[in-house]
Amino acid sequence: MDVKTKYKAKKIKAIFFDIDDTLRIKDTGYMPESIKKVFAALKKKGIITGLASGRALYGVVPEIKALQPDYFVTINGAYVVDSKGQEIYTDALPVEVIEKYVAWCHDVGIEFGFAGGQKPAVSKRVDLVDNAISPVYGQCDVEPDFYKHSAVYHMWTFEDQGDILQLSDELLKDVRLVRWHPNSSDVIKNGISKASGVAHVLEKLGLEPENVLVFGDGPNDMELFDYAGLSVAMGNGDEALKNKADFVTKTVEEDGILYALEELGLVEKELHFPQTELTSVEGPVATIKTNHGDLKIKLFPNHAPKTVANFVALAKDGYYDGVIFHRIIQDFMIQGGDPTGTGMGGSSIYGDRFEDEFSMEVFNLRGALSMANAGPNTNGSQFFIVQNSKLPYAAKELERGGWPAPIAALYAEQGGTPHLDQRHTVFGHLMDEASYQTLDEIAAVETGAQDKPLEDVVILGIDIED
């Protein structure tokens, strides 16, 4: 994410979300648990939340209403209410326009529907109609004359013509088509959009467009993206919308909304520290077999994917077999992985040095497996395991220095090398007491010049359990 986008985020006071395929998957109803956390976190920070949807209020599913958004911009901006149901703005279609539309539908031979303030209606119940509208509103009443006794805020086409279908020139003076389904388009009054609906909310709040962030995925979000100060497209969204967005996030299933808000600094990142819960962490297990015993290590592919892939591939190829730990410093670390045994050699599977992978969730605690390097982004094959058990800092001192409280407590209790954090890639951690005993035994060997053991400490092989 670029600096300009993060700067825009500092002005955000309200966030509006599309529903279908943004907050939840329309076809399956799946909504990530992270969405609940997002709304709670935004409310805690005093950021206004709202929905901006093509759905009518009666089509907003219970789990979305349970998020308790402050505003509902519904029916593509034609019907806007607050959290108490008080109308802020409504704009129904003129009856004469609806009559022209119904006549046109009969002429071109397609079915049609209406979005009223309290319920929807359709001209006929056939598979083509139900396949489009039922996932949103369930089975709709068949009332082709619905508009004669109820206000209509937008209409639908039901057909299999796609974008080939075009309104008559006369209708285009009043309404436009916005495709939302392979068999249906919204028929929206000109001048009405999600953007106009949000604008009415901002007017009530005394806010400007630059104070609004919007999330969306489809063509009916286009005007909203043009209007808002900051726009985020879902990773599963329409390509044209992505091209218009300030930022493209991950998909719904990948917690795309939470990810974007964390990156923008609008929601605190929820950190998980695998070194505090090794038994439940997913990832390969490496067992480094040495002539002093085994070192069993849980690897962290989610935090250092390129580094773990490099280590695993080299291990499986036998690259480390017979290689020594060439540098050992008691109360610091043991270092190996260089086939030359000098500390000057070794190469990665990528054919060159590769970049660091730093994370604020893994640290150089006692027992950490980290990459040795010769400066930023110079990783090859060499690695070290932190052995230090004595730390001259209290947990509170480390917290004041920026370390997360759980990690500061572990450092104070178990030891480690915090001065190496964000300088060396941490990609694994010792798993059991026997491994720590082996680590301490290796660290205690007698060494000579350049901290090289007088008797070789040899890697006999590395087993990988995927």
Per-residue pLDDT tens for 103-142? 999 999 999 999 999 999 999 999 999 999 999 999 999 9
Q: Are 45 and 14 within one domain?
A: yes
Identify whether residues 9 and 67 lie together within a single domain.
yes
3-state SS, one letter per residue, for the chain: CCHHHHHHHCCCCEEEECCECCCECCCCCCCCCHHHHHHHHHHHCCCEEEEECCCCHHHCCHHHHCCCCCEEEEHHHCEEEECCCCEEEECCCCHHHHHHHHHHHHHHCCEEEEEECCCEEECCCCHHHHHHHHHHHCCCEECCCHHHCCCEEEEEEECCCHHHCCCCHHHHCCEEEEEEECCEEEEEECCCCHHHHHHHHHHHHCCCHHHEEEEECCHHHHHHHHHCCEEEECCCCCHHHHHHCCEECCCCCCCHHHHHHHHHCCCCCCCCCHHHCHHHCCCCEEEEEEECEEEEEEECCCCCHHHHHHHHHHHHCCCCCCCECCEEECCCEEEECCCCCCCCCCCCCCCCCECCCCCCCCCCECCEEEECCCCCCCECCCEEEECCCCCCCCHHHHHHCCCCHHHHHHHHHHCECHHHCCCCCEEEEECCHHHHHHHHHHHCCCECHHHCECCCCEEEEEEEEC
Same domain, 321 and 441: yes
Check whether 86 has a pLDDT greater than 80.
yes
Q: Same domain, yes or no, for 69 and 162?
A: no
Whether 297 and 339 map to the same domain: the answer is: yes
182 and 205 inside one domain: no
Please indicate whether residue 27 is annotated as part of the active site: no
Say whether both 108 and 182 belong to one domain: yes
Task: Say if 283 falls within a structural domain.
Answer: yes
The enclosing domain of 51 has a CATH number of 3.40.50.1000
State which of 189, 211, 233 marks the end of a domain. 189
* Mean pLDDT on 283-292: 97
269 found inside a domain: no
Average pLDDT over residues 347-366: 96
Q: Is residue 105 part of a domain?
A: yes
- Residues 333 and 369: their CA atoms lie apart, in Å, by 10
User: Per-residue pLDDT for 1 more than 80?
Assistant: no
Give CA–CA dist 332/329, Å, rounded.
5
Chain segment 448-460, per-residue pLDDT in tens = 999 999 999 999 9
| Model pLDDT for residues 357-397, shown as the tens digit of each residue | 999 999 999 999 999 999 999 999 999 999 999 998 899 99
Q: Select from 238, 264, 290 the last residue of a domain.
A: 264
Do residue 285 and residue 340 come from a single domain? Answer: yes
The total of structural domains in the chain comes to 3
What integer pLDDT is reported at residue 106 of this predicted model?
Answer: 97
Residue 194: predicted pLDDT: 96
Same domain, 83 and 106: no
Among 2, 18, 186, 440, the active-site one is 18
Quick: pLDDT tens for 210-241.
999 999 999 999 999 999 999 999 999 999 99
Write the CATH number for 329: 2.40.100.10
Question: Contact, 411 vs 362, CB < 8 A?
Answer: no
- Give the global pTM: 0.67
As a whole-number percent, the residues of the chain with pLDDT over 70 amount to 100
Task: Name the average pLDDT for the chain.
Answer: 96
Do 174 and 210 lie in one domain? The reply is no
The domain boundary, picked from 132, 155, 189, lies at 189
Is 342 within a domain?
A: yes
Q: Please indicate, yes or no, if residue 295 is contained in any of the structural domains.
A: yes
Residue 104, domain member (yes or no): yes
Domain of 185, in residue numbers: 95-189
Q: Are 161 and 279 part of one and the same domain?
A: no
- Residue 132 domain flag: yes
Q: Residue 169: give its domain's CATH number.
A: 3.30.1240.10
Q: Does 411 lie in the same domain as 435?
A: yes
